[in-house]
Amino acid sequence: MTALLPRLFGDMTDWLEVDFPRPVQAFRVEDRMTDEEYVLRAELPGMDPEKDVQITALNGVLTVEAERHEQDAGSGRSEFRYGMLHRSVRLPANADEAAITATYDKGILEIMVPLTAPEVAGRQIAITKK
């Protein structure tokens, strides 16, 4: 009986490597912040940044969307993720969305977000007598 189990379930072992439910298609990122800028770096190897990657900033949220097209390499195993990939991060409150720049080099997308001087947190309100 023990010799029969591997034959019965041997082809099902790949199922155990799959996360259920499948996670959202994403990619790995890292970030850092200084007093002058916020920098987000994303791993996007094999992408054409002019065709496959789109970056948007709206209402304090930076979104990177990329599409990896599947290449027909014949039969075999592939752990690559294909299709739409996306990641969104909240920007610091003092981010200058109009001055965001991005570069792509050797599979790494780097997005630089300049930061403005912090705004004063509140204001003094004068009280008048009636």
Each residue's pLDDT tens digit, 27-78: 899 999 999 999 999 999 988 999 999 999 999 999 999 998 777 766 778 7
Measured between alpha carbons, how far is 35 from 94 in angstroms, rounded to an integer? 10
Q: Where are the beta strands (DSSP E) in 50-126?
A: 53-58, 61-68, 83-90, 101-105, 108-114
What is the domain extent for residue 31?
Answer: 23-71+78-114
Over the stretch 2-31, which tens digit does the pLDDT of each residue have? 555 555 555 554 444 444 444 556 789 999
pLDDT value at residue 2: 55
CATH assignment of the domain containing 46: 2.60.40.790
Cα–Cα distance, 114 to 94 (Å, whole number): 9
Would you state the pLDDT for residue 119? 67
Residues paired with residue 68 on neighbouring β-strands, in sequence order: 83
pLDDT at 22 (0 to 100): 46
pTM of the entire predicted model: 0.69
Question: pLDDT tier at 125 (50, 70, 90 boundaries)?
Answer: confident
Residue at 103 is within a domain: yes
What is the structure's pLDDT at 82? Answer: 77
Residue 15 lies in a domain: no
Contacts by residues 96-103 (CB-CB < 8 Å, ≥ 24 positions apart): 97/57, 97/58, 97/60, 100/55, 100/57, 100/62, 102/49, 102/55
Decide if 128 is inside a domain.
Answer: no
